[in-house]
Amino acid sequence: MRRLQGARLLLIDDQIELVENLLEIFEDEGATVRVANTLAAGLDAAHEPIDAVLLDVQLPDGSGLSAVSSIKALSPHAEVMLITGFGSLDHAIKAIESGAYSYLLKPFNLDVIVQSVERAVRQARSSREREELSSSLKQERDFISAVLDTAGAVVMVLDRDGHTVRCNSACHETTGFDPRDVFGRRPWEVIAPDDEAHEALAFAESLERSFPQRRETVITTRGGERRIINWSNTALLGSDGRPEYVVWTGIDVSERRGTEGRLRAAHEDLQAAHARLREEQAKLLHAERLSSIGQLSAGVAHEINNPLGGVMTCFSALRAGRVRPERRAEYEAVITDGLERIAATVRGLLDYARPRAAARETLDVAALVEASLRLISPSMRERRVEARVDVAPDEVSVEGDRSQLMQALVNVLLNATHAAPVDSELHIFTLDDEAEQVGIVVADRGAGIPEEFRDRVCEPFFTTKPDGDGTGLGLSITQGIINAHGGRLELGDNEGGGARVILWLPAGVPG
């Protein structure tokens, strides 16, 4: 399989011999390549669909560095790779700030340049796929909204605690209550205040039975009128197999004017819409996980290269017989240590990425934190953020699935790293409570979580990052994982400024 099969590349460089060499290499690897020898010609070619652009910093008619934003505007998903024979740290910083994917110095190692282009193409395709999936998901959400608001039935969507997260216009028309009066509250507190205790118990018991369910209740409208509502309830299950959301679909049967047919049609439409929504959500979550694995893999490659260099140097010296007998053990120890570091890094990535059925076990918190930090260490180095870990090995343990808890912890650590100021530190430690739970605490020195966002940051697709920088799924996924483990996610302020996130999990069973 050729590494650049199907890739669409644009090469902008005025060195004819270099262009011809790269053209031959990329086409041999299966890519389609367009060539431009001036910046103007390159910008004109960027109107066509492309995955990656190799752009010379100095061109006869302008600076490639200043043209990165123009190319990104013409082809938003293309990754721009700046190339130059006269590199400097200042140019490299400006390249990254301009949005360039990478900064490569001539002359090239041909295998390295192909690998770099391959990663850039993969990133561009992933970005394009995420946008397409997001667009498809938005269409499904719009479709559901249309179904809800045009249905002749009252529709209320409750979370597993009974709080109302969505209601349609028919709810307002039937009850007289504005959606703002109902949102975030349990419906029986609003429309059945005289029978609140009974309705709360009925809802709790309904979660333990199979769905769909039917029942009839009497509600009190805003004007004090009592109406009989025939409810048909269904559930959207969470990752733990329990109802995550309960959908109440109700028809006012006070006058009994043949509304049962409308109820069945609205209910079937809603079920079909929810099925499509779940399918699109699953695709988007899968694309998000693949994207994060790709980013982590690129960083892990650096973590492997460092010890590998030491191992190869020592091995070459031993094989060539240049090591005195009394120092042979020292060289062998360096080789052993380097291989162990490489194995630990690869094992950490596999634990994070490998799909498998959930398996609960007793996990050492210190080892879990170490493995998660190893995966995000390139991001931390880029931000010049250090980690201060106050968790002793084999001292604190939790019960859970290693892969899922690593995913949750990596999400929180990445968020903290992105929020932390440059040249600051993350503080990681543990707490315990009387409920036999252990809290894994991640504290940063960033701006903290604004009070107005705290009730929303764990909602799916809510994000404060600029468009394209996040899907708003990280904390939502983390909360789902922690809840499925019987724990809870706690957000608060860090002493001295910043945010503090606590992952409360069941304490490990002593061996």
Question: Based on the domain organization, do 348 and 360 belong to the same domain?
Answer: no
Q: Residues near 462 by Cβ (< 8 Å), separated by ≥ 6?
A: 453, 456, 472, 476
How far is Cα 12 from Cα 314, in angstroms, rounded to an integer? 42
| 138 or 199, which is more confident | 199
Mean of per-residue pLDDT scores for the chain: 81
Question: Based on the domain organization, do 381 and 503 belong to the same domain?
Answer: yes
The kind and range of the H/E element at 331 are helix 328-353
pLDDT at site 203: 92
Lowest mean pLDDT among 2-16, 59-73, 318-332: 318-332
pLDDT at site 274: 73
- Amino acid code (one letter) for 89: L
pLDDT at site 111: 84
Q: Mark out the alpha helices in 151-209 (DSSP H runs).
A: 169-175, 179-182, 187-191, 196-206
pLDDT over 60 at 491, yes or no: yes
pLDDT over 80 at 260, yes or no: no
Lowest mean pLDDT among 154-163, 370-379, 408-417, 440-449: 370-379
- Domain range enclosing 249: 151-258
pLDDT at site 283: 61
Residue 386 lies in a domain: yes
The token duo for 133 is: 């999936």
pLDDT over 60 at 281, yes or no: no
Split into its structural domains, the chain has a count of 4
Question: Based on the domain organization, do 392 and 504 belong to the same domain?
Answer: yes
**Mean of the pLDDT values across residues 160-185?**
88
- Amino acid code (one letter) for 430: T
**Mean of the pLDDT values across residues 421-448?**
88
pLDDT at site 352: 57
Residue 1 lies in a domain: no
Question: Based on the domain organization, do 419 and 493 belong to the same domain?
Answer: yes
Question: Based on the domain organization, do 105 and 254 belong to the same domain?
Answer: no
pLDDT at site 482: 87
Question: Based on the domain organization, do 370 and 340 belong to the same domain?
Answer: no
How far is Cα 119 from Cα 295, in angstroms, rounded to an integer? 10
pLDDT over 90 at 322, yes or no: no
Instruction: For residue 240, report the phi and psi dihedrals to the nearest 5 degrees.
Output: -90, 5
Residue 377 lies in a domain: yes
pLDDT at site 464: 61
Residue 372 sits in a domain whose CATH number is 3.30.565.10
| Strand, coil or helix: 430 | strand
How far is Cα 90 from Cα 97, in angstroms, rounded to an integer? 11
pLDDT at site 261: 59
Question: Based on the domain organization, do 487 and 368 belong to the same domain?
Answer: yes
The kind and range of the H/E element at 473 are none
Model confidence at 435, pLDDT cuts 50, 70, 90, reads confident
Domain boundary among the residues 355, 375, 406 is at 355
Residue 88 lies in a domain: yes
Question: Based on the domain organization, do 328 and 245 belong to the same domain?
Answer: no
Question: Based on the domain organization, do 375 and 469 belong to the same domain?
Answer: yes
Residue 140 lies in a domain: no
pLDDT over 60 at 159, yes or no: yes
Secondary structure, 3-state, 435-466 = CCEEEEEEECCCCCCCHHHCCCCCCCCCCCCC
**Mean of the pLDDT values across residues 219-240?**
88
Residue 90 lies in a domain: yes
Q: Are strands 8-12 and 52-56 parallel, antiparallel or unpaired?
A: parallel
pLDDT at site 167: 85
| 179 or 510, which is more confident | 179
**Mean of the pLDDT values across residues 338-357?**
63
pLDDT at site 504: 93
**Mean of the pLDDT values across residues 265-274?**
78
Residue 211 sits in a domain whose CATH number is 3.30.450.20
pLDDT over 60 at 471, yes or no: no
Rounded to two decimals, the pTM is 0.39
| Listed ranges 130-134, 149-153, 329-333; the one with the highest mean pLDDT | 130-134
Domain boundary among the residues 355, 381, 408 is at 355
Residue 249 lies in a domain: yes
pLDDT at site 366: 92
**Mean of the pLDDT values across residues 95-121?**
83
Residue 119 sits in a domain whose CATH number is 3.40.50.2300
**Mean of the pLDDT values across residues 285-291?**
55
pLDDT at site 287: 55
Model confidence at 132, pLDDT cuts 50, 70, 90, reads confident
| 1 or 55, which is more confident | 55
pLDDT at site 258: 46
Residue 273 lies in a domain: no
Model confidence at 470, pLDDT cuts 50, 70, 90, reads low
Residue 308 sits in a domain whose CATH number is 1.10.287
**Mean of the pLDDT values across residues 287-295?**
57
The kind and range of the H/E element at 309 are helix 260-319
| 43 or 272, which is more confident | 43
% the chain with pLDDT above 70: 81
Give me the DSSP letters along 234-247: EEEE-TTSSEEEEE
Question: Based on the domain organization, do 363 and 340 belong to the same domain?
Answer: no
Question: Based on the domain organization, do 456 and 375 belong to the same domain?
Answer: yes
pLDDT over 70 at 316, yes or no: yes
Q: Residues near 490 by Cβ (< 8 Å), separated by ≥ 6?
A: 439, 501, 502, 504
Model confidence at 357, pLDDT cuts 50, 70, 90, reads low
Model confidence at 278, pLDDT cuts 50, 70, 90, reads low
Question: Based on the domain organization, do 347 and 380 belong to the same domain?
Answer: no
pLDDT at site 257: 45
pLDDT over 90 at 354, yes or no: no
